[in-house]
Amino acid sequence: MILHIDMDAFFASIEQRDDPRLAGKPIVVGGHSRRSVVATASYEARCFGIHSAMPMFMALERCPHLVVVQSDKAKYAAVSSRIMEIFNDFTPVVEPVSIDEAYLDVTGCERIFGPPHNIAMVIKERIKKETRLTCSIGGAHLRFLAKVASDVNKPDGIFIIEQDQAQEFIATLEIKKIPGVGKRAMEQMEMLGIHTLGDVNRLSPAILQQKFGKFGNRLRNFAQGIDPSTVGADGQRKSISSESTLETDTSDMTFIKQQLLAHAQRVGRDLRRQELLAANVTIKLKFSDFTQITRQNKLTAPICSSSAIYREAVRLVEKTAMTKKIRLLGVGVSSFSDPGTPVQLDIFESTERKEEKWETVDKAVDKISSRFGNDIIKKATLNSPDKPS
């Protein structure tokens, strides 16, 4: 049995918990500038149609008495770690997938904690007792169904799909509720008259493959109650990223590079703090018309230095056609490995000396940042528009 656990209105609930004046009120977490976007909205704010990623000015239009709370990532990360530790008390097979959600494989825990619904109740009680926060839990024998299930009784709910009820649930499951279905695929499905997973069975495998490629195969498997993905037990995040909405839309490459460097430094520091190497670098760009793209590069040798992340991010941006101004940009890394293994030691040996020097610099920067705060040190490039060092 796989459980998917997702905290309710995570950032907003933490702020409401820590300031009783905010309890029961429509609040959002995000930046104060009108150009900021909503990171998350309390359930009271959601009644006004406010949601994550909505521009702040729009949220304020929908609810003029909305309280905007400045985001405090360090605080949320600390709560997140606490929650992940709690999960580890139930099973060693925990896969955190974002700051507020994780998959747990609880097969074999039933002898200690009882049936899945009981396990979910006990986990909810522990979280509530230790963090004063609520979460929602979904359970199923298939990973994708567990994720769908955690949303069914959100907030503060539990929904378990027993194996013998799965096929019935799948037949009427709306395609838009399935994780990973993009807007374009969704539109194409609608055009073909496909609304539920049950409808997918009506399409021939050839059509599915032709129209939706690999994703078509996955959908077909889901429709037939097949999901081979298991819960990764390494207990590590699968990606680390940093992004921000710019004060004004821009196409100024010097400025864009400065921003990329700041994000690369943040991501690099997180990566090194967790003693990981990453083999994948991603950039995210949102343009002035709110369209968004991500681009990624798979590296031959994994990295952890901020300058290497920066270099890859710049390369990706330079390959992207910039027909519109940029509104938001972000840098992320994924495909982690642990530098402690012999394979990675080989990689270190083959790494250019220059890169190693940067890693030494990065470590010194990390040490100082952790004592004096993130903004104390910036590479010269951040302050001067000269060529990146």
Phi and psi torsions of 139, nearest 5°: -135, 140
Residue count (the chain)? 389
CA–CA distances in Å: residue 70 to residues 11, 17, 36, 37, 261: 10, 15, 11, 11, 23
Using the rule CB under 6 A, give the single segment among 96-104, 122-130, 185-193, 263-271 that binds ligand TTP: 96-104
- Verify binding: residue 124, Mg ion, rule CB under 5 A: no
Q: What whole-number distance in Å separates Cα of residue 199 and Cα of residue 195?
A: 6
> How many secondary structure helices (H) and strands (E) does the chain include?
16, 12
- Verify binding: residue 305, ligand TTP, rule CB under 6 A: no
If phi > 0 it is left, if psi is from -120 to 50 it is alpha, else beta; for residue 193 that is left
Report, in Å, the least distance between residue 133 CB and ligand TTP: 10
- Identify which of residues 147 and 257 has a Cβ nearer to ligand TTP in the complex: 147
- Identify which of residues 40 and 258 has a Cβ nearer to ligand TTP in the complex: 40
Catalytic residue among 15, 44, 95, 101: 101
Indicate the SS3 state at residue 202: coil
The 107-146 site mask, x for binding ligand TTP (CB under 6 A), equals ----------------------------------------
Q: What whole-number distance in Å separates Cα of residue 98 and Cα of residue 280?
A: 17
Structure tokens at 345: 């030691």
Residue of the chain from 54, 60, 86, 99 that contacts ligand TTP (CB under 6 A)? 99
- Verify binding: residue 237, ligand TTP, rule CB under 6 A: no
- Verify binding: residue 270, Mg ion, rule CB under 5 A: no
Report, in Å, the least distance between residue 214 CB and Mg ion: 27
Q: Which does 155 bind (CB under 5 to 8 A by kind): Mg ion, ligand TTP, none?
A: ligand TTP
- Identify which of residues 178 and 278 has a Cβ nearer to Mg ion in the complex: 178
> Total number of residues binding ligand TTP (CB under 6 A)?
15
List residues bridging with 138 in a β-sheet: 4, 159
101 is a catalytic site residue: yes
> Total number of residues binding Mg ion (CB under 5 A)?
4
The 78-117 site mask, x for binding Mg ion (CB under 5 A), equals ----------------------x-----------------
Q: What whole-number distance in Å separates Cα of residue 165 and Cα of residue 242?
A: 40
Give which of 194, 202, 203 is closest to 174, Cα–Cα. Answer: 194
Whether the bond into 20 is cis, omega within 30 of 0: no
- Identify which of residues 22 and 109 has a Cβ nearer to ligand TTP in the complex: 22
Indicate the SS3 state at residue 334: strand
Indicate the SS3 state at residue 182: coil
Report, in Å, the least distance between residue 179 CB and ligand TTP: 11
Report, in Å, the least distance between residue 249 CB and ligand TTP: 19
For residues 142 and 3, the answer to whether their CB atoms sit within 8 Å is no
Kindly give the pairing relationship between strand 38-41 and strand 27-30. antiparallel
Q: What whole-number distance in Å separates Cα of residue 309 and Cα of residue 253?
A: 17
Q: Which does 39 bind (CB under 5 to 8 A by kind): ligand TTP, Mg ion, none?
A: ligand TTP
Question: So which residues are the catalytic ones?
Answer: 101
Q: Which residues bind Mg ion (CB under 5 A)?
A: 6-7, 10, 100
Q: Which residues bind ligand TTP (CB under 6 A)?
A: 6-11, 39-40, 52-53, 99-101, 154-155
